Amino acid sequence: MSRITFLLYVLFNVSLATTTVPSNVCYQDLGCYIPRPGFTLLPQSPEKINTKFSLFKRKQPIQAEIISSSNLGSFDRTKPIKLIIHGFTDQSSSAWVVNMTQELLKQEDMNVITVDWSGGNQFPYGQAVANTVIVAAVIRQLLQAMVNAGAKPQQMHLIGHSLGAHVSSYVGRDFHNLGRISGLDPAGPEFYNSLISDRLDPSDAIFVDVIHTDGAPRVQSGFGHLDALGHVDFYPNGGSAQPTCGSNTGDVLLQSAWNLISTFNIGNAASSMACNHMSAVYYYTDSINSHSPAFAYPCSDYKSFERGLCTSCGSQFDQCQRAGYHASSLKTLGKLYLMTLNGVKPPHFGFQFKVTLESNMNDSKQQTRGIIKIKFDEQEEETSLFDEKILFKSSSVNSKTILIARQPASLKEITISFKKSLSSNFGLGLSNQWNFRSVSILDMQSHLRQVVY
């Protein structure tokens, strides 16, 4: 067992070794439960988990109204219904839940209901996983009460992060015609070996869309689920490592797990480990009222997308999708890829372009490596195009998908800069200057603008 596996086992399953698990447990009004295949524990009582619902409306965007299945308060059955469901060690008062609530109410007059199950989502992780079925059962009671009051299941939309995505799945599994589930980096640990019915999948709602930001097949690498789980799955930056979080998630996990074990400071450890995992909620929130269309494109994998091989939206603009809130079941489905900006704060979405460089050197034996950047006439800073890993030959054609923060008003003027690499054999055998026969710029947002220089 590796160090990281051992430390994370202690982190997520502390206290389980001495726990005796009964064969089943029953709770009045919610039914009886047995350990599910792939899981080890039974859910705790609904009283312990204490699932709570807070209703927000455009007239009162800040003031919460506590509701329940027996008291729907000022719930409006004629308006859309959105439920926001947090995940492990989180709560409904978290800043991201508050921000998402406000953005939803800016978008449309609706019922926004935040779900708090912080009484049952703490360590050990395995117990929080087991408790998700109780949270889902209580949510179903609330939704059924709304249906009894005249609401339609098709107007209901569950937005769940991490374990909250799987909670949404359990709601939809036993609630016919649920309109939509948005899974925000659905939890991976303990859900790779589970049955399809025990994790988010396309059968859980009429439309299931998923954003992956910390996906990995093992907990050593990330907290999210990398597999496609919905009708459409978005993979920003490849779906595993986000640009503001660094790339070596395993080292971050190891250090955070050790800090937790040595100091037992759960809050600090969870915060440092969750950057990639939390990115999904920030992207989704930004997508609600974003000025950027945030288009994502079908592709075989992210590396192919980066190389500019997947840039078409089709003649009817139905071969690509807006990632996040404005995703549609009427557009192309499957795995879609896009890039996000590097900033910690919004906007996270920019404008994507395909840039193609055709080299033109007199000597066919000439080659070089270096850093190539591009600058549009209205940009203040250059955008990285190619790094030192790319070998340019005398007549090579190289393409790359890039992302910039602002949409250029025109493509009339661009600047290409080249800096020779000195890291490979001190630059020996590499040309100091490089010429290009042509530069092609394709606006991936509209496909109406393509300029060749």
Neighbouring residues of 374: CB distance < 8 A, sequence distance ≥ 6: 355, 382, 383, 385, 402, 414, 415, 416, 417
CATH fold of 3-338:
Rossmann fold (3.40.50)
The confidence band for 262, taking pLDDT boundaries of 50, 70 and 90, is very low
Q: Report the catalytic residues.
A: 162, 185, 277
How far is CA 247 from each of CA 190, 196, 214, 342, 439, rounded to the nearest angstrom? Answer: 23, 30, 11, 13, 31
Tokens of 192: 């790779």
Distance CA 168, CA 191 (A): 14
pLDDT tens by residue, 326-366: 999 999 999 999 999 998 889 999 999 999 999 987 777 88
| H or E segment and range at residue 132 | helix 125-148
* Cα–Cα dist 124/37, whole Å: 19
286 is in an annotated binding site: no
Which pLDDT tens digit goes with each residue over 285-330?
Answer: 999 999 998 999 999 999 999 999 999 888 777 889 999 999 999 9
Residue given tokens 């070998």 in the structure block = 391
End-to-end Cα separation, the chain, in angstroms = 56
Q: CA–CA separation, 267 vs 181, rounded Å? A: 28
At 163, list the tokens.
Answer: 């374990």
Q: 83: buried, middle or exposed (CB in 10 Å: 19+, 13-18, 0-12)?
A: buried
> Is the pLDDT reported for residue 3 higher than 70?
no
CATH 2.60.60 residue spans of the chain: 351-452
Which option is the CATH number for 351-452: 2.160.20, 2.60.60, 3.40.50, 1.10.10?
2.60.60
Kindly report, residue by residue over 161-170, the tens digit of the pLDDT.
999 999 999 9
Which residues have CB under 8 Å from 165's CB, separation 6+? 85, 87, 181, 183, 184, 185, 186, 187, 200, 210, 229
204 is in an annotated binding site: yes
Q: How far apart are CA 326 and CA 323, in angstroms?
A: 7
Share of the chain above pLDDT 90, in %: 64
Task: Enumerate the CATH 3.40.50.1820 domain ranges in the chain, comma separated.
Answer: 3-338
Q: Is the pTM of this model over 0.85?
A: yes
> 214 labelled as ligand-binding?
no
User: pLDDT by residue (tens digit) across 356-395?
Assistant: 999 987 777 888 989 999 998 777 788 999 988 888 998 8
Which of 162, 189, 131 shows the shortest CA–CA distance to 8? 189
Q: At 435, list the tokens.
A: 């010429």
